[in-house]
Amino acid sequence: MNKVDRRTFLKAAGGVAAGSLFFGGCGEAPAFNRGVKKTLNFWAFSDTRIIWQKYAFELYKKERNPDFEINWSIFPYAQMHDQILITSQAGTGGPDIADIEISQFARFIKGDIIFVDITQPLQQRGLMDKFYQASATNPWSWKGRVYGIGNELNTVLLSYRSDVWEKAKIQTPINTWDQFVEEAKRFHQDTGNYLIDFPFDDWASWWIMTQQQHRGFFNSQGQPILNDPINIQTLQFQKQGIKDGWATVRPPSASGQSYYATLSQGTVTSLMGPSWNFSGFIQENIPQTKGKWHLQALPAWPTPDGSRTATHGGTGVAVLKTGTNPEEALDFVLYEHTNVEALLHDFSVRQVWPTYKPAFADPRLSGPLDFFDNQRVGDLIKDLSPQINQWYNSPYWPETTNACTTFAITPAIQKSDVSAQQALDMAQSQTQSTINFETA
Amino acid sequence: MAVIQANVAARQSTYQKSNNWWKRNRRKVAPYLFISPFFILFAVFGIYPILYSFELSFFKGFGFDKKTFFGLGNYIHMFQDPSYIIAVANTTKFALGSVFILSPLALLVALAINSRFVRWKGFFKTGLFFPVITSSVVIAIIFARVLDTNYGLLNTLLGWFHIPPIGWLTNTNVVMISLILLAIWTYLGINTLFWLAGLNGINKEFYEAASIDGANNWQSFWQITLPLLRPVTLFVIIQALIGSYNLFAEPLLLTNGGPSNASLTITLYVYNQGFRNFNVGYASAIAYSMTVILLVLSLINLKLFGGSNTNS
Amino acid sequence: MADINLVTSDAEQANTTLSQRKRFSPYKVRFWTNSAVLNIVLIGLVLLTVIPFIYMIASAFKHNSEIFGTPITFFPAQPTLENMQALLTQFPFARWALNTAVVAVIGTATAVLLGSLAGFAFAKYNFRFKNILFIIMLTTLLIPYQVTIVPQFEIIRVLHWFNTYQALIVPRAVTAFGIFLMRQYTMTVPDELLDAARVDGSSEFGIWWRIVLPLVRPGLAVLGILSFTGLWNDFIWPLVVTTDPSMFVMNVGISSLVGPYDYQYGILLSGAALASLPVIIMFLFFQRQFLEGLTQGAVK
């Protein structure tokens, strides 16, 4: 009797244990394509960005016939980067290849770097000089080594609803911000709508404007300069616009469709950004506005030798050391960034100009674009790209930009009793304190 | 006992010596065997982390490999860190809402269900209970749509009464209130059940005796019901406090702690520091500070509502 | 409260005629008004609780544009299955569901087995470290989980358990609470039964298996339900130890559909609906056990 009971229990326990082991064994990533070669996992956070990369992979398959397939996954922006960071700590898991956004890269250089060093492969293939390094490799470099490569030349332009502006008889092109304010006030008075909006939960708009005036987050030594006088003036400019009524506050980025609704309905009629924004996102979310947009350079500030453009964002591709086949993955990554067909495909979809210099020989890059009412945008890009002011990165980019949003932008834009000076002073001291804490 | 021993002795002769030892001592050894599967795992995953976390709180560095000793540095920084202070303030605001709004409300509902005016007691108990068994992720997802400023269900409803849209999740002054309202929605059911369990435990004779003495409803409520509910009150309040400090999924998924840290809770801050910035030492320090706060609050509650189960 | 009314009203009743009492007695009017008010309020509360769920399920069948369009609709104007289809084809949702089920079932079985075994030991035996261990367990209950989550991550890292079922199940299957619960229930089992079994030659283990377990079945049910619900709805731990989408549990999976760059709310809401369905169905069938289990602490 006793033995039977013990046996029964042991059987049950054994069953449970075996069950766990069995499932544990099953707990590895199954190949999504059964019976086909190997599968490399590609993680991205933007589905518009994968379009050209998938296209590039089709070309790659025809030309090189690799023995792997790629499984493309899209995650939310923050979560994807968080998970890769966790992977770097865990030493396993995670994807083989990933899109790494420019402002997230700094998070991965604090410990052991999880990305494959591609400096040598680039040099060996003689590729280093064939790129606009400022956009292609610098953002993903650390201490002289390159860990990622980007295809986006992100010259910022002002994109506006030409149909609405013409109807309202707005004088284009608008050459200075003073002029802009004039037109904006009139427009709001006449129609109740706005020429522009400013976000409360995002630093992009403010950063673009400060970049024009040779300012931004960091100085050349990588030290935060949030409460520099010009930075403060710029934020105050935005506050004043909202207070005076010629600008409005953008809906929160978490509620994305709200924002695109305001754009398509004509409540807000312009935006500042690079092509992944004025083309990529706009074309994906409100394709019905095709042909109703024009582009122009950003209005100028009174500061001498200010710029009519800036840069914003950018995503590069990195290969993870924890992946299954880093060499093969790298081969594809280098291929897609140097294949003119593929790069031009991204151009046709998102109007992203490539960082690969030889691609510019193609006349398509300066043709008329029907989304922009047949404007020859490429010429504009070519003219303005050299004018992008130098900007400085820092290992503390995430901390500083977060502090800027949390302690400066949000309170300043949302609260009328918080001045830009107070807000940026607070953000500066916060950042300083965080950096001190981390480096102590 | 003697009978048992006689039986044991009788069997001894039929087994070998090792079995003798086993038979003699099995009653002593058995408990150790029974608790060992649990305790081995518990020691590794329960006790060791508690101790290791304490040790970690005195270190700083990125991740687990690059640690340097930092003494009390983490704790000192904590008290000067505005994000920490905001997180504590937010969590406390939330806890106060849970204790002083949610719990009494649940008591009222429990009294209502318990009263003889209401017959479908089971229906109400079940109906209010759904949010408790739903994961906070699902709740956050539903309410992201309900609380959206421009397209949300709630503002649409308010719009019918000509109330302008409220930035439930975007207004720094409102966002914590939204979370409290969400908590009330989620936990009303289970708190009501707690109170009901307590009310059912009160002997009806007390009421009869009081009415014979001429007491009215109000008096009997204050003098009989409430005092006899003290053990349940203690339980409800401590549950509310612990639950408040665990608030994580909703702020993460609805607002990511924003805007501008207005909905940053302590657990979310621990997560940010520990798994986003990998300042594991600092994260441990914050977690331990939370433990201290909870302990103090629990002790205060014990003093106020503790005491025995005997009647007053 | 209710009983008092009855008592005082009887006194009133004595002073009125029969016909008066029967038709418009103040007692009856007050009874029905109070009744109506309370019932209406309670129904209102239940509606408030249930409506968001219905909204979620209804939205799962709406086109994306309808969820954000104006005017806001409650029920879908053009019901569609496209969300569910997308959920199952574009994302490994079926796999997520499987993962959640595996974790919840095996985790519950483990928790119940280990908890009842250890609870039995604490309830019915005296052994040397009993009190110390008990106090240690008691103290661990006071420590919130945020304290342990970071070191547990490190342990998983050392063991190379990332993206495995063990990582999801084991740390969550051993809680002091389970022991306390089972100990309470086991203590009510009469010692005589155990001694009698020993006399009959049963092993200690047999005593547990054949005598104690059947008697503490309510406790097992409560522990089982609490563990299952807790494991099914767990979020922060799976979020931290799984980076491979094929190992996500449903909670983590659907949370990965939320985000500023890629929001497909129809899919999201249908995922949420499917994720919460099993526990809701279980709840409807086992209401009594659920309600009893979750109020255990209040009564102790």
For B209-246, give the DSSP string: HHHHTT--HHHHIIIIIHHHTHHHHHHHHHHHHHHHHT
Q: Any chain C CB within 8 A of the CB of A2?
A: yes
**Which of C3, C4, C55 faces B142 most closely, judged by CB atoms?**
C55
- Arithmetic mean of pLDDT, C70-89: 75
Is residue C1 situated within a structural domain?
Answer: yes
Q: Is the dihedral of CA A56, A62, A65, A69 positive or negative?
A: positive
Instruction: Say which residue, B213 or B86, is predicted with more confidence.
Output: B86
What does the pLDDT read at residue B51? Answer: 92
**Residue C182, Cβ density class (10 Å: 0-12 exposed, 13-18 middle, ≥19 buried):** buried
- Rounded Cα distance between A430 and A411, Å, is 14
Spell out which residues of chain A touch residue B276, defining contact as CB-CB under 8 Å.
82, 85
Alpha-helical segments (H) within A192-281: 204-212, 229-244, 256-265, 275
Contact indicator for B298, B238 with CB cutoff of 8 Å: yes
Judge if C96 and C214 occupy the same domain: yes
Q: How far is B137 from chain A (nearest CA, A)?
A: 15
* CB contact A31 to B (< 8 Å): no
pLDDT-wise least confident of A17-31, B61-75, C162-176, C255-269: A17-31
> Could you give the ipTM of this predicted complex?
0.78
User: What number is the average pLDDT over the span C274-288?
Assistant: 83
Residue C108 in any domain: the answer is yes
Q: What is the CATH number of the domain that holds C154?
A: 1.10.3720.10
SS3 call for A39 = strand
Task: Please list, in sequence order, all residues whose beta carbon lies within 8 angstroms of the beta carbon of residue C117, skipping any fewer than 6 positions away.
Answer: B34, B35, B37, B38, C208
* Res. C191 pLDDT band, cuts 50 70 90: confident
Dist. CA A134–CA A119, nearest whole Å: 15
User: φ and ψ at C248, to 5 degrees?
Assistant: -65, 150
**Closest residue to C205, CB basis, from A5, A32, A91:** A5
Rounded to an integer, the average pLDDT of A211-226 is 89
Same domain for C277 and C130: yes
Interhelix angle B17-42/C130-142, nearest 10 degrees: 20
Please provide the DSSP assignment of chain C as one string.
-HHHHHHHHHHHHTTS-HHHHHHH-HHHHHHHHHHHHHHHHHHHHHHHHHHHHHHHHHHTTS-HHHHHSSS--SS-SS--SHHHHHHHHHS-HHHHHHHHHHHHHHHHHHHHHHHHHHHHHHHH---TTHHHHHHHHHHHHHS-HHHHHHHHHHHHHHHT-TTSHHHHHHHHH--HHHHHHHHHHHHTS-HHHHHHHHHTT--HHHIIIIIIHHHTHHHHHHHHHHHHHHHHH--HHHHHH--SGGG--HHHHHHTT--SS---HHHHHHHHHHHHHHHHHHHHHSHHHHHHHHTHHHH-
Whether residue A189 is predicted with pLDDT greater than 90 in this model: the reply is yes
pLDDT at B212: 80
Residues paired with A295 in a beta bridge: A159
Same domain, C129 and C5: no
| Facing C121 at nearest CB: one of B31, B156, B185 | B31
Give the tokens for residue A394.
């820092």
Pairing of β A145-146 and β A293-296: unpaired
C36 and C103 co-located in one domain:
no
pLDDT band at B232 (very low <50, low <70, confident <90, very high): confident
Domain that residue C25 falls in: 1-42
CA of B292 vs chain C CAs: smallest distance (Å)? 9
Tell me: pLDDT of A328 over 90.
yes
- How sure is the predictor about A5, in pLDDT bands with cuts at 50, 70 and 90? very low
> Are C67 and B153 a contacting pair at CB < 8 A?
no
Reported confidence tier of residue B307, pLDDT bands at 50, 70, 90:
low
Residues of C with Cβ-Cβ distance to B124 under 8 angstroms: 42, 45-46
Q: What is the mean pLDDT of residues A362-377?
A: 89
Mean of all residue pLDDT scores within chain C: 80
d(CA C20, CA B273): 73
The percent of residues above 70 in pLDDT, for chain A, comes to: 91
* Percent residues over pLDDT 70 in chain B: 90
Q: Please, what is the average pLDDT of chain B? A: 83
Whether residue A195 is predicted with pLDDT greater than 80 in this model: the reply is yes
- pLDDT by residue (tens digit) across B49-78? 999 999 989 988 777 777 788 888 889 999
| Chains A–C, number of C-beta pairs less than 8 Å apart | 106
Contacts with B260 from chain A: Cβ below 8 Å: 405-407, 410-411, 414
Compute the distance between CA of residue C182 and CA of residue C167 in angstroms, rounded to an integer: 25
> C159 and C228: one domain?
yes
Q: Say if residue C16 is in the same domain as residue C150.
A: no
Mean pLDDT of C120-133: 85
Residue C121 domain-assigned?
Answer: yes
| Region C173-195 average pLDDT | 85
* Residue C67: predicted pLDDT: 66
Residues C35 and C144 in one domain: no
Cβ contact B148:B159 at 8 Å: no
Does C18 reach chain B within 8 Å, measured CB to CB?
no
Listed residue (A302, A4, A84, B146) closest to C206, CA to CA: A4
Give C72's contacts in chain B (Cβ within 8 Å): 151, 153, 156
Q: What's the rounded mean pLDDT across residues A327-332?
A: 94
Round to whole Å and give the CA distance between C171 and C107.
9
Nearest chain B residue (CA) to C158: B64
pLDDT band at B48 (very low <50, low <70, confident <90, very high): very high
> What is residue C101's predicted lDDT score, i.e. its pLDDT?
93
Whole-number pLDDT of residue C294: 67
Q: Which of A414, A424, A430 to mutate to test the interface with B (most CBs of B within 10 A)?
A: A414
Does the structure show a pLDDT above 80 at B8?
no
- What is the domain partition of chain B in residue ranges? 2-56, 76-305
Nearest CB to C246; choose among A29, A47, A90: A29
**pLDDT of the residue at A9:** 45
- Is-cis flag, bond preceding C71, omega within 30? yes
pLDDT band at B200 (very low <50, low <70, confident <90, very high): confident
Q: What is the pLDDT of residue C3?
A: 37
* A8 Cβ neighbours under 8 A, 6+ residues apart: C209
The answer to whether residue C275 sits within a structural domain is yes
At A142, give phi and psi (nearest 5°). -150, 125
| Each residue's pLDDT tens digit, B259-269 | 888 999 999 99
**Which chains are within 8 Å of C by 3+ CB pairs?**
A, B
In a domain, C82, yes or no: no
Of the listed ranges A10-19, A51-60, A205-214, C159-168, the one predicted with least confidence = A10-19
> If you average pLDDT over residues B2-10, what whole number do you get?
58
pLDDT at A403 over 80: yes
Structure confidence at residue A14 (pLDDT):
45
Residues 189-208 of C with CB under 8 A from A: 201-203, 205-206
A65 pLDDT above the threshold of 80: yes
> C285 in a domain, yes or no?
yes
Q: What's the count of helices (H) and strands (E) in chain A, helices before strands?
A: 18, 14
Residues of B in contact with C55 (CB under 8 A): 142, 145-146, 153
Closest residue to B49, CB basis, from C49, C155, C236: C155
Measured CA to CA, the distance from residue B254 to residue C190 in angstroms comes to: 52
Q: In angstroms, how far apart are the furthest CA atoms of chain B?
A: 92
**CATH no. of B76-305:** 1.10.3720.10
Q: Which residue has the higher pLDDT, A34 or C281?
A: C281
Residue of B nearest to C52 (CA): B142
Q: How confident is the model at residue C71, as a pLDDT?
A: 55
Name every chain C residue with its beta carbon within 8 A of the beta carbon of A19.
Answer: 106
Q: Name the DSSP letter for residue A121.
A: H
Average pLDDT (C15-20) is 53
Residues C99-125: tens digit of each pLDDT: 999 999 999 999 999 999 888 888 888
Nearest chain C residue to B184, by CA = C49
Distance from C-alpha of B171 to C-alpha of A415, rounded to nearest angstrom:
10
Kindly indicate the confidence band of residue C173, based on its pLDDT and cuts at 50, 70 and 90. Answer: confident
Nearest-CB residue to C5 (from B120, B217, B298)? B217
Cβ of A25 under 8 Å from any chain C Cβ?
A: no
Higher local confidence (pLDDT), C129 or B264: B264
Unique residue bearing structure tokens 């918080």: A418
What pLDDT, in 10s, does the model give residues A126-172?
998 888 877 888 888 888 889 999 999 988 999 999 999 999 999 88
* Set of chain A residues whose Cβ sits within 8 Å of the Cβ of C259: 45, 75-79
> How many whole angstroms separate alpha carbon A293 and alpha carbon A278?
9
Residue range A385-414: mean pLDDT, rounded: 87
Residue C66: strand pairing partners = none
User: Of all residues in chain A, what percent carry a pLDDT higher than 90?
Assistant: 52
One domain for residues C102 and C186: yes
Q: Is the pLDDT of residue C66 over 90?
A: no
pLDDT tens digits, B83-114:
999 999 999 999 998 889 999 999 988 888 88
Q: How many Å lie between the alpha carbon of C40 and the closest alpha carbon of chain B?
A: 10
In whole angstroms, what is the distance from residue C135 CA to residue B143 CA? 41
Same domain, C142 and C28: no
Neighbours of A216 (CB within 10 A): 25
Cα–Cα distance measured from residue A307 to residue A301, given in angstroms and rounded to the nearest whole number = 8
Which residues, in sequence order, are CB contacts of B157 under 8 Å at separation 6+?
none
Cβ of C71 under 8 Å from any chain A Cβ? no
More confident residue, A23 or C223: C223
Q: Which of C96, C172, C244, C254 to mutate to test the interface with A (most CBs of A within 10 A)?
A: C244
- Do residues A314 and A131 make contact, with C-beta atoms less than 8 angstroms apart? no
Residue C51 resides in a domain: no
Q: Is the pLDDT of residue A198 over 90?
A: yes
Tokens of B125: 């108990």
Q: Mean pLDDT throughout B277-291? A: 90
Residues B259, A89: C-beta atoms closer than 8 Å: no
Q: Which residues of C touch A30 (CB under 8 A)?
A: 95, 246
Residues C151, C282, single domain; the answer is yes
Instruction: Tell whether the model's pLDDT for residue A27 goes beyond 80.
Output: no
Judged against a pLDDT cut of 50, whether residue C11 lies above it is answered with no
Q: What is the mean pLDDT of residues B221-229?
A: 81
Classified as helix, coil or strand, A125 is coil
Comparing CB atoms, the residue among C68, C110, C165 nearest residue A16 is: C110
Residue A311 belongs to what H/E stretch? Answer: none
Q: Which residue of C has its CA nearest to A79?
A: C256
Confidence of residue C21 (pLDDT cuts 50, 70, 90): low
Side-chain half-sphere CA neighbours of C43 within 13 A: 9
Using a 10 angstrom Cβ sphere, with 0-12 exposed, 13-18 middle and 19 or more buried, the burial of residue A373 is middle
- Answer whether residue C74 is part of any domain: no
- pLDDT value, residue B265: 93
pLDDT higher than threshold 50 for residue A113: yes
Q: Do A82 and B276 make contact, defined as CB atoms within 8 angstroms?
A: yes
The total of structural domains in chain C comes to 2
Chain B: partners with 3+ C-beta pairs within 8 Å: A, C
Place of tokens 């709310």: C265
Instruction: Give B201 or C232, the one with higher predicted confidence.
Output: C232
Class of residue A183 by CB neighbours under 10 A (exposed 0-12, middle 13-18, buried 19+)? buried
Position A101 scores a pLDDT of: 92
- Examine the pLDDT at C207 and tell me if it is beyond 70: yes
CB distance A250 to A197 below 8 Å: yes
Q: Is the dihedral of CA A407, A412, A413, A415 positive or negative?
A: positive
Give the strand pairing for A157-161 and A293-296. antiparallel
